[in-house]
Structure 1
Amino acid sequence: MTLRVQILKDKLSQSLGLPFQELLPESAIKQAISELKIKYKKRLFDPIITLWAFLSQVLDTDKSCHNAVSKIIAHLAEEEVEIPSSDTSGYCQARARLPEKLLEKLFNSSAKNLEEQMTEDHLWYGRNIKVIDGSTVSMPDTVENQKEYPQPSSQKPGCGFPIAKIGVIFSLVTGAAVALCIDVLNTHDIKLARKLYSFLKPNDVLLGDRAFCAYADIVTITKLGCDAVFRKHQSRTTTMRKGKIVGDCDKLVTWHKPKRCPKGLSKDEFDALPQSITVREIYYYIVIPGFRTARVSLITTLLDKSTYSTLEVIGLYGKRWDVELDLRHLKTTLGMDILRCKTPSMVRKEIHVYLLAYNLLRSLMWQAGTTYNTPPLRLSLQGTRHHLINFIDKLEAVTLQKRRRIYRTLLKVIVHKPVPDRPARTEPRARKRRPKAYPSMTKPRHELRKQLQTA
């Protein structure tokens, strides 16, 4: 058993582990296990091998447990050791033994380590920009998942899937996810955001859409020593007759404390809010054909117009769209949109592993971009994943010197075809390929089976 474990650790660290050795080396995993005081038995699927196999599983296009176990068997096939069973129960039990806190800690560490590689040249006026947004993920229709993350109330029982709401903060510089919150579907984005503000650091600037533009939240962000740039909530009217005009379509306005305590705030939190705050309001027009929004009103706590000009703030908010692309990478490119685990605990673990794998890919893109003087955000995450998967087999079967040369080649091919910058690109929101003409389920599957049997 000990020999097989060591062989797997060597092979995985040389192949899958090599590109991520700066952010997730074996020593970092062991340190996290030690800090959390996690005890485990000596078996083939110990926490380190299980984690590497889990990462490999979410990075692959075939995300089945059978494929993950098959890779482990293939790693051991050429060695003179006993081959493990192809049954997936041992691996699935090992994944279930992984503590959620361990995966959460490793995810947070991956984001922190990547951000430490940023320099002053990467910042916006010396400020680190973070972007926040919410989304949803679905999961298998099991009793446990339905109880923890109920399906939409508009769907009939047995005809829908459990859905979880996630809130994520991304770094605008690296593209990495830096904070995560998971809750039920009917949770408002702002409730998720209030659980994520603790991950902000002094001098950060937070971008968000109008769902986050609330009086209490702007106060909270400024108390943390940070600033915010949000789109103004639709419930607030826009007029240039009030406030101090500081430029074209740019003014300072005073917001007063709400008369009633908003939902989601305790009475003590509401009482602690100041009676008024001063914010800066900027509005502008979008005249690009095909864009849904014609007029945008921004609210920001960046009050100094001489330092943060109107055009610079507008340009900064224009980059908020990057968070939509980051979420698309997670859900569509990596396949997190539809999860596979059948219990709420495993669902949360799967989400954390997806975000950990996403951050590790971002770290590989960052290293490739900084090595070959290409903006890391202009690199293709899908292309990076393809190159990584194709290079893994080559990395594990060569000498150390040759492995380093192959790794340098990997970085070079990642930057070979950067994604073109296409501002104001417009495409019709329509699909050409028609879906199959199957009807949607309006009854549980067991009732439909009975109809077929009696027909």
Structure 2
Amino acid sequence: MKYTAPFLPGLHLQSLRKKPRSTAQIMADEMMHKKDKSLLGLKACFGRFIPESFLKNNVKGHHSRHRIFSKETTFWAFFSQIIDADGGCAEVVKKLKTYLAFNSDQSLSVSTGSYCKARKKLEETDMVEILQHTSESFHVNLDDQPLAGRRVIVVDGTGLSMPDTSENQDEWPQISSQKTGCGFPTMRLLGCFDLATGAILSYAVGNKKKHELPLLRQQEGTFKEGDIFLGDKGFCSFYDVDRLREKGVDSVIPLARRIPKTEQTCIKKLANNDLLIRWERPAWYKKALLPKDEWNQLPKELLLRQIKVDIEQPGFRVKSFYIITTLLDPLIYSAKSIADLYYRRWSVELFFRDLKTTTKMDILRCKSPAMIRKELLMYFIAYNAIRHLIYETAHAHEKDPMRLSYKGALQALRQAEVYFNRAALCPSEILRIRENLLDSIRTNIIPFRPGRSEPRCLKRRLKPYQLLTLHRHEMIEIKHRSKYNAKAA
């Protein structure tokens, strides 16, 4: 006769045969569940450019425990905030709340306090490593390089503003002609870009008193042997040309603050308007970069090449200018190819336009210098990630990456982010959305308009608001006083 166990309410026979799970095992499963469910879909799009190893939680200290705002989630939320059209903290928190409600049973408050605290805990050194990885992970073919298969680094500076806080004013003071409370902190930024890909390789920041040359010297490690330095006339410096030459880096810059050499004073005439010249070391002065004894150790002269470029196309401010370069071989580097290379120097202005106007980096949002630096790093990381998508698309379809619209790529990414979030746990769906994103980037081609010239004029008039000429609280007092006097009269 078969024995039948009695039914005991509240007990399950199979569970009685197993060892009960510990509290630690239950919590570990819950944390793993949260980790799988709390990532934004942007990771699926940019995981190859920004490896997960950079975003693992720390062993101890900040971001060492698994929470909703883990190190990885905070990073991708910050990334999403940068590429978002609104750019506010509240927008990205609501986006993350909607994502969690769609993909899990977790809930999140719409308050931005937790997110802002988690964002402050991101280490600046980690973000610097991520930016360096995004800039070094481009695989550029020799045929894509602008000149003789060599990497060209184009350099230029720009200015940024930020909220008017006392901490920001101490770090980056406003222009002295502006009254206290009527201006904004001003930052000077110098960036080094790869001309072939448009990616930013390094950057340096300073206040309004910093010249671009000292900021360039802070980034000497960016240049490697065989590179070509491309800059405007602000970088026409004997010391810097010689310093780069010693590292095996050639320079292409316009002549400034010197009288051009003539055929009578040159060493050799290579071709028409193409001369081999000697560049004498300037005399030492008290405000020079080096002490007098170190300055005298510099070479007495540099052997350079001077190329005169005549401009026949209307729309330019000058009719001719001179280029100074250390590329001395006219057979490998013709005068026309060097002039065409300098013509492409304008691309750096377009790179800054993509960052400042399209991605809205011209006015930073954070209120402390530490967060301003992190915000700046995140802008560059997001910019390089989008440049990766553009270059990957251009390489796959044999197109010029500079002809694919950065703004079009950013718009396509904003629309695709919603569907990446929905399909965060479905690899096949993620692949389909990503292919559709790359197809949108491929079809958004900038028209070829060589020599296009447009006047920098505004057609739409600004609203006729009164200008802030005093501190805001002083103007409020004056306004209330005038109303009181009007009533009394």
- With the length of structure 2 as denominator, give the TM-score of the two structures: 0.88
Deviations 1:255-285 (A, max 9, x none): 1222115746232653442121111111112
The Cα shift of 1:38 comes to: 7.4
Higher radius of gyration, 1 or 2: 2
1:39 is displaced (CA, Å) by 6.2
Task: Tell whether the 8 Å contact from 1:4 to 1:81 is kept in structure 2 after alignment.
Answer: no
> One-letter code of the match for 2:36?
Q
Q: Report the equivalent of 1:76.
A: 100
2:244 maps to a residue whose letter is I
Q: Of 410, 429, 435, which aligns to 1:408? A: 435
Quick check: 1:279–1:301 contact (8 Å CA) kept in 2?
A: yes
Cα gap change, 1:80 to 1:302, in 2 (>3 Å):
closer
Instruction: Please point out which of 192, 208, 211 is paired with 1:185.
Output: 208
What residue number does 2:450 align with? 423
Counterpart Cα distance in 2 of 1:77 and 1:340: 28
3-state secondary structure, aligned to 1:118: coil
Residue 171 of structure 1, aligned match among 191, 194, 217? 194
Q: Which residue of 1 aligns with 2:10?
A: none
In structure 2, what is the equivalent of residue 118 of structure 1? 140
Confirm or deny: 8 A CA contact 1:19 1:364 kept in the other structure: no
The two structures have a TM-score, normalised by structure 1, of: 0.94
Secondary structure, aligned partner of 1:245: strand
2:47 maps to 1:21: yes
Q: Deviations over 1:69-124 (max 9, x none)?
A: 1111111113453312211111111111111111111111100112xx11222122
Determine what percentage of the aligned residue pairs are the same residue: 36
Q: CA RMSD of the aligned region, Å? A: 1.9
Amino acid at match of 1:358: Y
| 2:378 is the alignment partner of 1:348 | no
Shift in alpha-carbon separation, 1:88–1:272, aligned structure 2, 3 A? farther
Could you tell me whether the CA contact under 8 Å between 2:171 and 2:369 is conserved in 1? yes
CA contact (8 A) 2:37 2:104 kept: no
Partner of 1:373, secondary structure, is coil
Q: In the alignment, does 2:54 pair up with 1:67? A: no
Deviations 1:301-327 (A, max 9, x none): 101111100101000110000000000
Structure 2: 5+ residue stretches without partners: 1-29, 483-489
Q: CA deviation at 1:338?
A: 0.2
| Residue matched to 1:274 | 299
How far off its partner does 1:149 sit? 0.5
Q: Determine whether 1:236 maps to 2:264.
A: no
Deviation string 1:342-391 (CA, Å, 9 cap, x unpaired) is 00111111111001100000001011111222211111111101111111
1:186-335 residue pairs with structure 2 within 5 A?
A: 186-233=209-256, 235-240=257-262, 241-243=264-266, 244-261=268-285, 263=287, 265-267=289-291, 269-335=294-360
Partner of 2:11: none
Which secondary structure does the structure 1 equivalent of 2:154 belong to?
A: strand
The CA distance in 2 between the partners of 1:82 and 1:324, in whole Å, is 45
Cα offset, 1:154, TM superposition: 1.3
How far did residue 442 of structure 1 move? 1.3
Residue type of the alignment partner of 1:295: S
User: Which letter maps to 2:442?
Assistant: V
SS in 1 for 2:219: helix
AA aligned to 1:76 is L
Instruction: State how far apart, in whole Å, the 2-side matches of 1:195 and 1:271 are.
Output: 23
User: What code does the residue aligned with 2:471 have?
Assistant: P
| Corresponding position: 1:8 with 2:38 | yes
Cα deviation for residue 28 of structure 1 reads 3.8
- Name 1:359's counterpart in structure 2: 384
Q: Which moves more between the two structures, 269-278 or 356-365? A: 269-278
Moved more, 166-175 or 290-299: 290-299
Q: In structure 2, give the amino acid aligned to 1:27.
A: S
Offset, 1:18: 2.3
* CA apart distance, 1:252: 1.2
Q: CA separation in 2, counterparts of 1:354 and 1:448?
A: 36
Q: How many residue pairs align between the two structures?
A: 446
Secondary structure in 1 aligned to 2:443? Answer: coil
C-alpha distance in structure 1 between counterparts of 2:79 and 2:429, whole Å: 25
Q: Matched residues in 1 for 2:286 and 2:403: separation?
A: 41
Asked if the contact 1:230–1:300 (Cα under 8 Å) also holds between the matched residues in 2, the reply is: yes
What SS does structure 1 have at the residue aligned with 2:309? strand
Task: Map 1:13-162 onto structure 2 (within 5 A).
Answer: 15-30=41-56, 40-114=64-138, 117-123=139-145, 124-162=147-185
1:289 shift after superposition: 2.0
Tell me the distance in 1 between the aligned counterparts of 2:346 and 2:413: 27
8 A contact 1:163–1:185 mirrored in 2: yes
Contact 2:99/2:422 (<8 A) preserved: no
Using the TM superposition, give the Cα deviation of residue 37 of structure 1 relative to its aligned residue in structure 2, in angstroms: 9.8
- CA–CA distance in structure 2, aligned partners of residues 214 and 274 of structure 1: 13
What code does the residue aligned with 1:373 have? E
The 2-side partners of 1:60 and 1:111 are apart by 22
CA distance 1:188–1:380, shift in 2 (3 Å): same
Aligned to 1:442: 469
Task: Indicate how the Cα distance of structure 1 residues 37 and 83 shifts in structure 2: closer, same or farther if over 3 A, else same.
Answer: closer
Change (3 A) 1:396 1:438: closer
Q: Which runs of 5+ in 1 are unaligned?
A: none
Greater alpha carbon shift after TM alignment, 339-348 vs 75-84: 75-84
Q: Which amino acid aligns with 1:412?
A: D
Query: Contact conserved, 1:55 with 1:353, CA < 8 A, in 2?
Result: yes
One-letter code aligned to 1:107: L
Amino acid corresponding to residue 37 of structure 2 in structure 1: I
2:172 and 2:186 in contact (8 A); partners too: yes
Q: Which amino acid aligns with 2:199?
A: A
Any conservation in 2 of the 1:17–1:25 contact (CA below 8 Å)?
no
Question: Alpha carbons of 1:269 and 1:97: their partners in 2 closer, same or farther (altered >3 Å)?
Answer: farther
